[in-house]
A and B are shown apart, each in its own frame.
Chain A
């Protein structure tokens, strides 16, 4: 925490630079240059201007400290945790999630993998607030998640599909994406099947356009309207809520399947981490 008072934002950017020379706003600009007519990508000049001062950068700095500090009943840091590229290796790890993990026999996204690390490696109880609280700037979880994710800034989404389970989950996610149910008969295409569409004033990303979709799935992002950093799982929850379908359980295999598919849709397009959204 003390570091926050001493370090200026350029240092925060430099931290990102260890993973990639580009700042998140440069990654976004690259997508805009590739698709200048995209209303979704161009929707908020103000957010683009504010990205160098993205509050998520501060959240990530808290996360950095939490990540490297020995914690929990086992008094070990998260450096002992494998996010897919070996213990403690974070560079490029997030854009290759969800993936299959041998130690659990499951396909896991970043959020569930962080929880796994907290409970199985650090020894926290699953109902410990450290593990349970996952939604706000103040949560250890979002701080850590933002820190890990930004080590993949500017890298292309590339979740592996080599393992049969990875492929099965991705394919089930595709079905979930198209699955209509509930009081409104909605599926994900209702909002994400066309370009240039709005729900009220909100510009919608098109899942069929990788440049738009890469930004759409670039979580964690600081949501200006919420004043909080939010996760992929939080976005999924919000979508099902608006679709009048029941609350998807964060970390469920259903949620990981959906996130596997939506990551696959953005494959080969660079991630904006952390992003800033309306």
Chain B
């Protein structure tokens, strides 16, 4: 779902970030004598992830979304375009392509954007469970996947949130629930690159991280007048 999204076509033409070529690297691997110094940094990084001594990660582990760790480590076009050394911004052309591809990735619920159950949304916003792999694998049959929202945002102040992203305390109270603001928040959760190309925020809808119901519930936590976010 996330890997081969419509992003590819839009961005590929504009991306200025090197897409690490594997040809020279793979050939070197077959000879049994690999010269790291003959590779570009990008080629070597890819080689170290996927090839060196069987790979630098536990690549055969199965992922919750299907496929293996090897698949999850593959970058899609957005991830490639936004892997910028020094954490700078993409150039204007790339940014425009990212925004357009993000817009095309967003799927709206049938019947329009709805607010769900704020109490469930509150727990989902708090939960850091889901999609972690490696040494302590998240079993999605055991618990619902959370949104990890509090990692970076403050909501109701009875629980401590991070400040990597903007504070969202009182969000609905100060902004109302017009169609425009609901669409904005839905878009931001689904694929925030539509407004902020190469933002650090995950694409919770486009990646399949959160399902439609969970997005509706988290939005209710932000907008419902009864929610402690809006006290």
Q: Which residues of A contact B (CB under 8 A)?
A: 164-165, 167-169, 171-187, 189-191, 193-194, 196-202, 204, 237, 240-242, 244-249, 252-255, 257
Q: Closest CB-CB distance, A162 to chain B, in whole Å?
A: 13
Q: Which one of A172, A189, A197, A246 lies within 8 Å of B87 (CB-CB)?
A: A189
Q: Assess whether B52 is in contact with A189, with CB atoms less than 8 Å apart.
A: no
Would A172 and B41 be within 8 Å (CB), given that A178-B87, A246-B134, A254-B48 are in contact? yes
Task: Give 17 A-B contacts (CB < 8 Å), ordered by A residue.
Answer: A168-B44, A175-B42, A181-B74, A185-B200, A186-B200, A186-B202, A199-B152, A200-B161, A245-B57, A246-B59, A246-B72, A246-B73, A247-B135, A253-B36, A253-B52, A254-B49, A257-B44
Q: Which one of A168, A183, A200, A241 lies within 8 Å of B162 (CB-CB)?
A: A200
Kindly state whether residue B142 has any CB partner on chain A within 8 Å. no
Would A199 and B151 be within 8 Å (CB), given that A180-B82, A253-B48 are in contact? yes
Q: Closest CB-CB distance, B127 to chain A, in whole Å?
A: 12
Q: Which one of B37, B65, B78 lies within 8 Å of A185 (CB-CB)?
A: B78
Q: Assess whether A165 is in contact with B53, with CB atoms less than 8 Å apart.
A: no
Q: Which of B1-46 contact A (CB under 8 A)?
A: 2, 36-37, 39, 41-42, 44-45
Q: Which one of B37, B59, B65, B150 lies within 8 Å of A164 (CB-CB)?
A: B37
B85 contact set on A, CB distance < 8 A: 174-175, 177-178
Would A247 and B61 be within 8 Å (CB), given that A199-B151, A237-B135 are in contact? yes
Question: Which 10 residue pairs across A and B have the least CB separation, nearest first?
Answer: A254-B56, A247-B134, A246-B69, A252-B56, A175-B45, A171-B41, A254-B48, A172-B44, A189-B87, A184-B202
B200 contact set on A, CB distance < 8 A: 185-186, 189-190, 193
B79 contact set on A, CB distance < 8 A: 179-181, 185
Kindly state whether residue B181 has any CB partner on chain A within 8 Å. no
Q: Which one of A182, A194, A197, A241 lies within 8 Å of B72 (CB-CB)?
A: A182
Q: Closest CB-CB distance, A177 to chain B, in whole Å?
A: 8
Please name 14 further chain A to chain B contacts, defined as beta carbons within 8 Å, in addition to the given A201-B160, A252-B57, sorted by A numbering. Answer: A168-B41, A172-B41, A185-B203, A199-B151, A199-B164, A200-B151, A240-B134, A241-B133, A241-B134, A241-B135, A241-B136, A242-B132, A244-B133, A254-B57
B2 contact set on A, CB distance < 8 A: 183
Q: Closest CB-CB distance, B133 to chain A, in whole Å?
A: 6
Q: Assess whether B65 is in contact with A246, with CB atoms less than 8 Å apart.
A: no
Bound together, the chains give a CA A247 to CA B132 distance in angstroms of: 9
B61 contact set on A, CB distance < 8 A: 246-247
Would A249 and B78 be within 8 Å (CB), given that A172-B44, A183-B72, A200-B161 are in contact? no
A186 contact set on B, CB distance < 8 A: 200, 202
Kindly state whether residue B157 has any CB partner on chain A within 8 Å. no
Bound together, the chains give a CA A167 to CA B148 distance in angstroms of: 37
Q: Closest CB-CB distance, A256 to chain B, in whole Å?
A: 9
Q: Assess whether A169 is in contact with B164, with CB atoms less than 8 Å apart.
A: no
Q: Which one of A167, A187, A198, A254 lies within 8 Å of B52 (CB-CB)?
A: A254
Bound together, the chains give a CA A157 to CA B59 distance in angstroms of: 32
Kindly state whether residue B114 has any CB partner on chain A within 8 Å. no
Would A183 and B75 be within 8 Å (CB), given that A248-B57, A249-B56 are in contact? no
Q: Assess whether B57 is in contact with A247, with CB atoms less than 8 Å apart.
A: yes
Kindly state whether residue B119 has any CB partner on chain A within 8 Å. no
Interface centre among A167, A254, A257 (most CB of B within 10 A): A254
Bound together, the chains give a CA A164 to CA B44 distance in angstroms of: 13
Q: Closest CB-CB distance, B66 to chain A, in whole Å?
A: 12
Residue-by-residue, is B90-120 near A (CB-CB < 8 Å gives 1, otherwise 0)? 0000000000000000000000000000000
Bound together, the chains give a CA A204 to CA B39 distance in angstroms of: 33
A185 contact set on B, CB distance < 8 A: 78-79, 82, 200, 202-203, 207
Kindly state whether residue B58 has any CB partner on chain A within 8 Å. yes
B58 contact set on A, CB distance < 8 A: 246-247, 249
Q: Assess whether A180 is in contact with B53, with CB atoms less than 8 Å apart.
A: no
B87 contact set on A, CB distance < 8 A: 178, 189, 193
Would A175 and B41 be within 8 Å (CB), given that A191-B164, A246-B61 are in contact? yes
Q: Closest CB-CB distance, A223 to chain B, in whole Å?
A: 16
Q: Assess whether A183 is in contact with B131, with CB atoms less than 8 Å apart.
A: yes
- The residue of chain A having its C-beta at the shortest distance from the C-beta of B81 within the complex is A180
Q: Which of B163-210 contact A (CB under 8 A)?
A: 163-164, 200, 202-203, 207-209
B72 contact set on A, CB distance < 8 A: 181-183, 244-246
Bound together, the chains give a CA A274 to CA B132 distance in angstroms of: 29
Bound together, the chains give a CA A145 to CA B41 distance in angstroms of: 29
